Amino acid sequence: NFMLTQPHSVSESPGKTVTISCTRSSGSIASNYVQWYQQRPGSAPTTVIYEDNQRPSGVPDRFSGSIDSSSNSASLTISGLKTEDEADYYCQSYDSSNRVVFGGGTKLTVL
């Protein structure tokens, strides 16, 4: 099976842009869709990106997703950072047997 590796934490100032990476350890990042979840403290996760780059209804277009086959990674980019974006972010994909794989999570601090 493969692992998804995320940075433990990132920080950036309000109004700036931040990118969170998610690197797949083996197999192609493009072979299975990647999802991104936001989890604010004390709350359940919510989906901010699905199928690599799709935004659910209600998610602002400040959130975008992409994959890069050269680095075998997916990225979540948040532009125009707001203090309300401060949360944990998790990437997720599937293996060839439809089992779910989560990244370890990245704590985003907006300061």
Partner 1 sequence: EVQLVESGGGLVQPGGSLRLSCAASGFTFSSYDMHWVRQATGKGLEWVSAIGTAGDTYYPGSVKGRFTISRENAKNSLYLQMNSLRAGDTAVYYCAAAAGVIYWGQGTLVTVSS
Provide the binding-site residues for partner 1, judged by CB under 8 A.
35, 37, 39, 44-47, 50-51, 54, 56, 90, 92, 97-105
User: Assign residue 69 a region: left if phi > 0, alpha if psi is -120 to 50, beta otherwise?
Assistant: alpha
Closer by beta carbon to partner 1, 21 or else 105: 105
Between the alpha carbon of residue 105 and those of residues 8, 38, 69, the distances in Å are 7, 9, 21
Q: Smallest distance, Å, CB 38 to partner 1?
A: 10
Closer by beta carbon to partner 1, 17 or else 54: 54
Q: Smallest distance, Å, CB 92 to partner 1?
A: 8
Query: Is the distance from CB of 54 to CB of 69 less than 8 angstroms?
Result: no
Query: Is the distance from CB of 25 to CB of 15 less than 8 angstroms?
Result: no
Q: Smallest distance, Å, CB 16 to partner 1?
A: 25
Closer by beta carbon to partner 1, 20 or else 105: 105
Q: Smallest distance, Å, CB 37 to partner 1?
A: 7
* Residue 88: how many other CB atoms lie within 10 Å: 18
